[in-house]
Amino acid sequence: MTRGPVVLDFAPMVTEARPLRTRFLDVSLTHVALAYDGNPVLRDVRWRVRPGERWVLAGGNGAGKTQLLKVLAGDVWPTPTGRERLRYVWRGQSHAQPEAVKEQIAYLGPERQDRYERYDWNFTATAIIGTGIHRSDIPLDPLTPANHRRIASLLARLKITHLARRRFLTLSYGERRLVLLARALAWKPALLLLDEVANGLDVGHRERLMRFLTSTARSQLPWVLTTHHAADVPASATHLAVLRDGRIERAGRITPAALRAAFGSQVAAKSKPIAPPPRRTRRTRVLFSLEHATVYVDGVRILRDIDLSVREGECWVVHGGNGAGKSTLLKTVYGEHPVAVGGHIRRHGVEPGVPLQDFRAWVGYIAPQLQTDQPQYLNVLDTVGSGLHASIGLNQSLTAAERRKALASLARFGLSQFASRTLRALSYGQLRRVLFARAWVRSPRLLLLDEPYAGIDTPTRAALAGQVDAMIAQGLTVVIATHHREEWPVAATHELELSGGRSMYCGPVRPTAQHRKPPR
């Protein structure tokens, strides 16, 4: 017998809200649906978030978590069905549309963070936090002494005071996330929406995030946090909702049993270990090398005197905390940042007068900013096909041969059913899988992976890690930057440890290093 959805403590969440004079929001959604390009994303959602409730929203990639937050925030309007109803109660007044209270809602997540890269909003951390005080996208008003004191307090609270004068685009992915969290707090919101905010954070920064979320237990501030991982559920969370295929499958107070039901099914079995490639008796050719490489980004020195040589068939893991320089290293190899005078970078086949595009023609690259850059109107097939040209978007339609290659790459990564969908209809995790297919479509000789599993649920992460293992076993050269030891490929041969832009260790994987464990 098929069981219906399990709903815990659900009925009270859709009853009429009594207008109370509180500065925090009480939000109700009833019969809410959402579709993109005719594909349903949310289906008959009924949900309520009250002041003092701290919700965790769980579900796999494509479940609809981000889109549900966008509906709450008023960034997306539900698909009209004649049954949908939204109600926002604030300061004793009830509103049927979010526009009246939109400025009271602070939203932080990967897509919001990516806007700064897309629009080149390279302001200082202090200025960006100040936009939270003034509730604007970019700095418009001067900061008063009182504003500066508040910003200094928030920086200290999150232990990122040292970033105050740094420009945003010179920060690491995790450092940017904490600056934007400070901005959200400066907003003094009536509702806080946090979309996969722990992604990209090293251990120290994640602990700072968890301390903040735990401290909110003393406040009536309601928040909603989406996550794929039980480890990212703070102790202060009071409620849990589980989305599956756009429907709320469970909703109610958090209990150990509810957490097990929500996250236990996501624990994947350990992928079959793949033996490291056999040691070669002859020296293979160097694909790229850095010699005394120092790299500046907007006048800030990020990498200092790096020496690195990567040969065919090797698998390098680049690791270190937020701000260590991992992303900058991969961007430099790919050609997005130059090496300062006194250092050198050499790429196989790229001699003076040879365009860098010739190097990129046999390199697969996956990085957060690359995901940001993809045109949202493009469909999945064309996005994957653009990898054949190492381009963002397409200047002309794919040829028949290119379409066949793109379709084969989609099939390899289990994405065939998404071929005709536009990118805007995909979840963050689904789009990351598309980038894997785009990187593989040209049958690369070198794969550069910058935090490739961020925003991906546990089963998908295990499947993609298995694909990377298989590529390494077939002789592909891989360089992967990651915070997490469990994401190291099982056939990793070398490691580069960075700290403050300096090389702390560069050589074969040390005996103490452990290969990947089962995802948790």
> What is the crossing angle of helices 428-440 and 458-473, to 10°?
10
Within 8 A by CB and 6+ apart from 162, the residues are none
Q: Among all chains, which residue has been given the structure tokens 């690195």?
A: 308
- Using a pLDDT cut of 70, give the percent of the chain over it: 90
Whether 403 and 460 have beta carbons less than 8 Å apart is answered as no
In this structure, the strands spanning 39-49 and 26-36 are antiparallel
Confidence of residue 272 (pLDDT cuts 50, 70, 90): very low
CA distance 474 to 247: 41
pLDDT tens digits for range 178-189: 999 999 999 999
What's the pLDDT score for residue 274? 38
Whether 339 and 332 have beta carbons less than 8 Å apart is answered as yes
Domain residue spans of the chain: 11-118+191-266, 286-362+449-510, 372-444
Whether 456 and 61 have beta carbons less than 8 Å apart is answered as yes
What's the pLDDT score for residue 519? 42
Burial of residue 264, with CB atoms counted within 10 A of its CB: 0-12 exposed, 13-18 middle, 19 or more buried: exposed
CA distance 145 to 150: 9
Whether 22 and 94 have beta carbons less than 8 Å apart is answered as no
Average pLDDT over residues 433-458: 92
Compute CA distances 463 → 118, 141, 154, 408, whole Å: 30, 48, 39, 17
Structure tokens that stand for 275 in this block: 């033996």
Radius of gyration of the chain (CA): 24
Fold agreement (11-118+191-266, 286-362+449-510): yes
Pick the closest to residue 177 from 223, 125, 222 (CA basis): 125
What's the pLDDT score for residue 46? 96
Within 8 A by CB and 6+ apart from 367, the residues are 327, 330, 331, 448, 450, 451
What's the pLDDT score for residue 346? 93
Structure tokens that stand for 402 in this block: 């290119």
Pick the closest to residue 373 from 435, 430, 425, 420 (CA basis): 435
CA distance 246 to 185: 29
Average pLDDT over residues 109-136: 92
518: left (phi over 0), alpha (psi -120 to 50) or beta: beta
Burial of residue 355, with CB atoms counted within 10 A of its CB: 0-12 exposed, 13-18 middle, 19 or more buried: exposed
CA distance 29 to 33: 10
Query: Which is more confident, 22 or 422?
Result: 422
CATH classification of 11-118+191-266, choosing from 3.90.1010.10, 3.20.20.80, 1.10.3720.10, 3.40.50.300? 3.40.50.300
Query: Which is more confident, 275 or 499?
Result: 499
pLDDT tens digits for range 384-433: 999 998 888 888 899 999 999 999 999 999 999 999 999 988 888 889 99
In this structure, the strands spanning 477-481 and 315-319 are parallel
pTM: 0.82
Pick the closest to residue 74 from 139, 7, 29 (CA basis): 29
Structure tokens that stand for 498 in this block: 């960075």
Would the CA dihedral through 410, 414, 418, 422 be positive or negative?
A: negative
Helix, strand, or coil (residue 181): helix
CATH classification of 286-362+449-510, choosing from 3.40.50.300, 1.10.3720.10, 3.40.1030.10, 3.40.50.620? 3.40.50.300
Whether the pLDDT of residue 4 is over 50: the answer is no
The one-character DSSP state at 144 is P
Whether the pLDDT of residue 371 is over 90: the answer is no
Alpha helices in 119-202 (DSSP H): 125-134, 145-157, 173-186
Whether 32 and 248 have beta carbons less than 8 Å apart is answered as no
- Write out the E strands in 371-493: 446-450, 477-481
Compute CA distances 175 → 64, 164, 200, 324, 387, whole Å: 27, 11, 9, 11, 29
